[in-house]
Amino acid sequence: MSIVIKGARILGGEPADILIEDGVVARIGQDLTGDETVEAAGLIALPGLVDLHTHLREPGREDAETVETGTRAAALGGYTAVHAMANTSPVADTAGVVEQVWRLGQEAGHCDVQPVGAVTEGLAGERLAELGAMADSAARVRVFSDDGKCVSDAVLMRRALEYVKAFDGVVAQHAQEPRLTAGAQMNEGAVSGRLGLTGWPAVAEEAIIARDCLLAAHVGSRLHVCHVSTAGSVEIIRWAKSKGWDVTAEVTPHHLLLTDDLVEDSPVGAYNPIYKVNPPLRTRADVEALRAALADGTIDVVATDHAPHPVEDKETEWAAAAMGMIGLETALRVVQEAMVDTGLLDWAGVAERMSYAPARIGRLAGHGRPIEAGSPANITLYDASVREEVDPGSYASKSRNTPYEGRTLPGRVVATFLRGRPTVLDGKLA
């Protein structure tokens, strides 16, 4: 069985045909033929996107998302692999749970699901979880994170960084000093002051990142910083990289586009919990610093932090509402809006930050490879020329907590191929 993708612009370059045979890119050229043809004139071909930070909620919160619905959303967003965060119920802190999540992903078949293992038992921050057993399991865990919570104990963080070296793992830190953010509701600044909401200071993120960079350098291990949200964090990571330390970082699409003043005044009113997220939306100056850092490589990756919540947890008063936003189905569109249409990144730059780098950091074999002969045929076809209103009613995710409802965004994912098999065609699940 062979498929030929006709006339796609690989990374935005000149139109070419891509011949796929047995799940692998066989040839790239002109006038190629295959058993089946997918017309792609005018479409951009990107390597299948890889998310380092997805919450699939299964096991335990299947009312918010399941592996099946979350991976459908991922495929529709152009993803061929996602890392599933460990803050499920039970927590993914044993070989048994990570293997369960990994198998559910295989059964669903919409994209590869790579489980993330918890750093500490039950995310309690007291004892290290069975990192080695998870690494040796069928799920081959390489990314470890207590995401949702910060590994705030410096000794535990040091031990985790030392431990993962044995299997080339990485600790992905949710940088949030817990005492500085007790009861925090939104970014600490002028808007929180006016609204009378407890502030979430930038220093609560920056202090942990600085400490962890120093710890990673001290023990010679790999650190990944989740969802960087402040200009100060960018400066610290830039400094750590200038020392040659093995530190990588991610930013979410929403932190590249949205600001904290939406809590005060937005198309959906004031105090709308759709904008409540961890870490919080920051200021315009932070957004500008994050965009510049993503452009110059200080921030390596765009990761969605797709965080589905059911309506009853989100459509409530601000203080009681859950933190988080869905993002898999809008990530590439938001990146086009914030980074490509602004001239900060070209499509090769997008491929690096949404496919190659996340696969490299996660040590994910078979993903994040250039579209060239011999590569696994993980390919996303994207129409960058359209602009459409965001319609959460059409989403595959079980949850609807998108902050973009009512906005227009550029772009549309037209097709996704996982090892040569279409998971999405004509913008719909294949």
Active site residue 51: no
Query: For 153-168, b where at least 16 C-beta lie within 10 A, e where not — what string?
Result: eeebbbbbbebbeeee
CA distance 75 to 171: 26
Q: Which residues contact 241 (CB under 8 A, 6 or more apart)?
A: 247, 298
CB 135 within 8 A of CB 167: yes
Nearer to Zn ion, 279 or 368 (CB): 279
The span from the CA of 394 to the CA of 101, in Å, is 26
Q: What is the closest distance, in whole angstroms, from the C-beta atom of residue 278 to Zn ion in the complex?
A: 6
Q: Please give the residues from 307 up to 366 whose contact with Zn ion meets the rule CB under 5 A.
A: none
Number of residues that bind Zn ion (CB under 5 A): 2
C-beta nearest to Zn ion: residue: 174
Give the residue with the Cβ less far from Zn ion, 137 or 145.
145
Smallest gap from Cβ 327 to Zn ion, in A, equals 12
309 annotated as belonging to a binding site for a ligand: yes
Six-digit token string for 350 = 């997008």
306 is in an annotated binding site: no
Instruction: Give the pair of three-digit tokens for residue 298.
Output: 């200080």
Draw the binding track, 122-161, toward Zn ion (x: CB under 5 A; -: no contact).
Answer: -------------------------x--------------
**x/- letters, 169..208, toward Zn ion (CB under 5 A):** -----x----------------------------------
The response to whether 305 counts as a known ligand-binding position is yes
Nearer to Zn ion, 213 or 424 (CB): 213
Query: What is the C-alpha to C-alpha distance for residues 17 and 19, in angstroms, rounded to an integer?
Result: 6
32 is in an annotated binding site: no
254 is in an annotated binding site: no
Coil/strand/helix, residue 351: helix
Q: How far is the CB of 147 from Zn ion (least distance, A)?
A: 4
Phi, psi of 186 (to 5 degrees): -165, 170
17's torsion region: left (phi>0), alpha (psi -120 to 50) or beta?
beta
Range 15-34, binding Zn ion (CB under 5 A): none
Phi, psi torsion values for 73, nearest 5 degrees = -60, -40
Tokens 């979430």: give the residue.
200
Between 87 and 397, name the residue whose CB sits nearer to Zn ion.
Answer: 87
CA gyration radius for the chain?
Answer: 20
Cβ 181 to Zn ion, closest distance in Å? Answer: 12
CA distance 361 to 1: 33
The residues in 39-98 that bind Zn ion, with binding defined as CB under 5 A, are none
The reply to whether 224 sits in an annotated binding site is no
| 335 vs 409: CA distance, rounded Å | 10
Question: How near is the Cβ of 200 to Zn ion at its closest, in Å?
Answer: 13
Note whether 205 and 227 are within 8 A (CB): no
Task: Decide whether 58 or 147 has the Cβ nearer to Zn ion.
Answer: 147
Is 400:311 a contact under the CB 8 Å cutoff? yes
Q: Closest distance between Zn ion and the C-beta of residue 224, in Å?
A: 12
Instruction: Looking at residues 270 to 309 of the shown chain, list those that interact with Zn ion (rule: CB under 5 A).
Output: none
In this complex, which beta carbon is closest to Zn ion, that of residue 151 or of residue 409?
151
255 in a labelled binding site: no
Distance of alpha carbon 53 from alpha carbon 146, whole angstroms: 12
Is 187 part of any known ligand binding site? no
Strand partners, 38: 5
Residues facing residue 250 across a β-bridge: 301
- Beta carbon nearer to Zn ion, 27 or 149: 149
Residue 306 beta carbon to Zn ion: minimum distance, rounded to whole angstroms? 11
Q: Cβ distance 216 to 245 under 8 Å?
A: yes
What's the rounded Cα separation, in Å, for the pair 281 and 148? 16
- Which one of the listed residues 17, 51, 300, 305 is annotated catalytic? 305
Whether 147 has a binding-site annotation, put simply, is yes
User: Which positions lie near Zn ion, rule CB under 5 A?
Assistant: 147, 174
Active-site positions read: 305
Residue ranges for the known binding site for substrate are 55-57, 87, 278, 309
Which residues are known binding-site members?
53, 55-57, 87, 147, 174, 227, 278, 305, 309
Binding-site residues from annotation for Zn(2+): 53, 55, 147, 174, 227, 305
